[in-house]
Amino acid sequence: MASNVIQNSSTNNQDNQTCYYHIIWLDKYLKNFSNTRKLKELSQFDAKIKSFICENECIEYIREQNNQNTNTHIIFIISGSLSEQIIPKIQDYNCIVTILIFCTDIDRYNHLKFKKLQAICDDTYDLMDSIEIYMTKNNDREIHFSLLNQQESADSESTLIKTQHPIRNLKEDQARFLWFYHCHNFMIELKNNDNERAKKEMIALCRQESQDERILSHIDDFEKESLEQNAKNAIQWYTRNSLIFRSINTVFRREKISNVYNFRYMIKLLCQQLKDQHKKFLDNYKESKSSERLYRGQQLQLKDINLLKDHVNDIISLNGFISTTLNKNVAIKFAFQPRRQGFERVLFEIDADINDEFNVIFANIKELSRYPEEEEILFSIGTIFRIKSVKFNNEKQLYIVRLKVTHRNELHAIEYIEQTYLNDMNSSDQSVLFGKLLFDMGDYEFAIKYFTDTLNHLVNSDHNLRATYLNNLGVCYNELGNDKEALKCYQETCIIYRDTNNDRGLGTCHHNIASIYYARGRYSDAYSQALEALDYRKENNLQKASTLDLLGCIYLKRNDAEAAKDYLTKALKIRLKSLNQINPYHPDIGISYQNLGGLYKKAFQYENARLHYSRAAEIFRYNYPKSHQLVKNINKYLREIEQSP
């Protein structure tokens, strides 16, 4: 008898608690050559897999594991011939999380309906796939969401998680969520025909992630499919290939758009197929019912449950693609997996309107899933919910969290983002909008990579588009302190705009060059470039306001406070007139208040400085996450004012 004990573990990023998957295999014929080879293959999941040929020894070992009350989760493999005799004896042990029958004749055992029976397999690859997918799906039962409350938070730092984002209680992170949502939304809509390249990039990353020949063979199959076949089979690939499933969910949780971009090919296909399935879903349900209750079972730390309890009626966002089910018992099964230390069982009850009103994409993927019995309803990215109630159910011994699908328009920061990126751009090219979102999110390094890569694949005839990319590339370099590269980009942009008689573009170029000279302390050069920009911006009020604001800053550096105040005030008036009724929290208004605050600070008028800085801070926090440089800077200026005499 082989005598091994595992540990292939899944680490919980919240508290570093580890749950261990322990594989036990019971089969009278384990000692034959074929099964010995299979044991070796299974050891990739469990370096110390435990195998038995004696039923009593196996049952006793499982009983011991259960009595130890550890975080060990047992995946039990049993031969078909022993299944009806042994499974009833061990299935109620808490340590048994799933059962797999491994046999030579599936039809012979298809009638079995044991509650923890996951699959009946007659092939080693199918068996290993079932183990891999089970581990991945259950590791994914951790909740990862942002709590987007509508009131100020007393202590916005208190619930931050280190590298991933299970729960956040941050008013300003409404902006973070919306930036992130719109960024991957634009990414999905990109029309630069880079599907072939995007597919190659994703496959290369997947191959770096795993050395497992079985998983790599699936990636090979995915690669061999045409783009059209990939699109048709996207949901199957997501639910069946654990590496793709795990990778996509991980990149969403980390909320780093550069990582999401690397998987844009699969994300785009998934979103599109879900959208198509959503239409079918609506057609099937509209006539029979107007709403549907969905369920999701898992475990949460008590502190996170209490946080949800404290924010009933507030809004949460669940990161990435969200799995739910029509079957309450399936969800409860997930909630009642062996409980990890410090965690409580939670059942989410989600009410969703079956109509197009909220433009929320979700679909029944039962026919496309590897596990049709789970009756899975998959939500697309960017879905938000309102918390209706959080209560403990004594009878079921779990917490029930009631949620209702809601609309993103209920989040205030959407105003600026929608206006800036959907109504106020001079270019309709989605790739330009995506790049601009990147540097507005403060992800300058990835924005540089993105713009550079896009420039390299741009056809030579797209002169104005090339100039736009170059200009935005310059903005990114400038934000990272590389004004030499920034100036080079701006000057090259100017040449293109001059050759194409693009006055608006020339105004932007000269303004940006003036900004670099201003930062270098070359105020005369900055002044002349700003005046040249102003000549091109006579008719464009908002762009004119930006240059007037810059001229005000230049005058302030030249110690002409009266002229500085005149220009800064003119800029603010234009911005208020143009933007105040549409969006009084537009960041350009914040820039004006910040610069006027600097003027008053220099004049030792600290109360006026504090008032203007405070208004700027309110605006920046409204639109940007706290990690954004504008938010960091204004917080620093306010601290300096507080320390002034």
Q: What is the pLDDT of residues 192-216, one digit of tens each?
A: 567 888 899 999 988 887 777 777 8
Arithmetic mean of pLDDT, 534-556: 92
Looking at the predicted structure, is the pLDDT value of residue 169 above 80? no
pLDDT at 388: 95
pLDDT band at 102 (very low <50, low <70, confident <90, very high): very high
Residue spans of the domains in the chain: they are: 8-139, 145-410, 426-539, 548-645
Give me the residues paired with residue 298 across strands. 346
How much of the chain exceeds pLDDT 90, in percent? 42
Share of the chain above pLDDT 70, in %: 80
Looking at residue 430, its pLDDT comes to 65
Fold match, 426-539 / 548-645: yes
Mean local confidence (pLDDT), 432-439: 74
Q: Distance between CA 77 and CA 86 in Å, rounded? A: 11
3-class secondary structure, 19:
strand
Considering the domain 145-410, what is its CATH architecture?
Alpha-Beta Complex (3.90)
DSSP code, position 338: P
Strand residues in 131-242 grouped as ranges (E): 145-148
Helix (H, G, I), strand (E, B) or coil at 448: helix
What is the residue whose two structure tokens read 């969403």? 252
Answer yes or no: is pLDDT of 521 > 90: yes
What mean pLDDT is predicted for residues 311-317? 84
* Residue 400 predicted with pLDDT over 70: yes
Alpha-carbon torsion, ordered 429, 430, 433, 438, to 10 deg: -140
Report helix, strand or coil for 83. helix
The β-bridge partners of 376 are 325
pLDDT score of 416: 53
pLDDT of residue 251: 78
Residue keyed to tokens 């006579």: 538
Averaged pLDDT of the chain = 82
* Residues 430-452, mean pLDDT to the nearest whole number: 79
Reported confidence tier of residue 358, pLDDT bands at 50, 70, 90: low
**Most confident stretch, 31-40, 116-125, 336-345:** 116-125
pLDDT value of position 383: 83
**Helix crossing, 195-209 with 264-285: angle to 10°?**
110
pLDDT for the residue numbered 182? 66
Cβ(643)–Cβ(609) below 8 Å: no
Dist. CA 156–CA 149, nearest whole Å: 11
CB 27 within 8 A of CB 53: yes
Q: What angle do CA 129, 200, 449 make, to 5 degrees?
A: 125
CA gap 164, 275 in Å, rounded: 27
Superfamily holding 548-645: Tetratricopeptide repeat domain (1.25.40.10)
Which of the pair, 145 or 488, is modelled with greater confidence? 488
pLDDT at 70: 66
Average pLDDT over residues 342-356: 86
DSSP tag of 421: I
- Tell whether the model's pLDDT for residue 347 goes beyond 70: yes
pLDDT at 284 over 80: no
Highest averaged pLDDT of the listed ranges 70-84, 257-271, 357-371, 389-403: 389-403
pLDDT in tens, 292-309: 899 999 888 898 899 899
> Predicted confidence band at 600 (pLDDT cuts at 50, 70, 90)?
very high
pLDDT score of 391 more than 90: yes
The CA-atom distances, in angstroms, between 447 and each of 18, 183, 551 are 36, 12, 28
DSSP assignments along 355-395, one per residue: SSTT---EEE-TTTSS-GGG-EEEE-TT-EEEEEEEEEETT
Pick the CATH number of 8-139 from 2.60.120.10, 1.10.645.10, 3.40.50.2300, 3.40.1380.10: 3.40.50.2300
In this prediction, residue 632 has a pLDDT band, given cuts at 50, 70 and 90, of very high
Phi, psi at residue 98, to the nearest 5°?
-160, 155
Q: Which of 87-96, 152-161, 281-290 has the lowest mean pLDDT?
A: 152-161
pLDDT in tens, 221-278: 999 999 999 999 999 888 876 678 878 877 777 767 777 888 889 988 998 899 889 8
Measured distance CA(130)–CA(237) in Å, rounded: 14
Q: pLDDT tier at 382 (50, 70, 90 boundaries)?
A: confident
Q: Which of 96-110, 259-273, 455-469 has the weakest average pLDDT?
A: 455-469
Least confident span in 2-16, 116-130, 355-369: 2-16
Pick one of 1.25.40.10, 3.40.50.300, 1.10.3210.10, 3.30.450.40 as the CATH number of 426-539: 1.25.40.10
CA atoms of 580 and 585, how far apart (whole Å): 8
The segment with the largest mean pLDDT, out of 39-53, 234-248, 256-270, 601-615, is: 601-615
Pick from 104-108, 131-135, 564-568 the range whose average pLDDT is largest.
Answer: 564-568
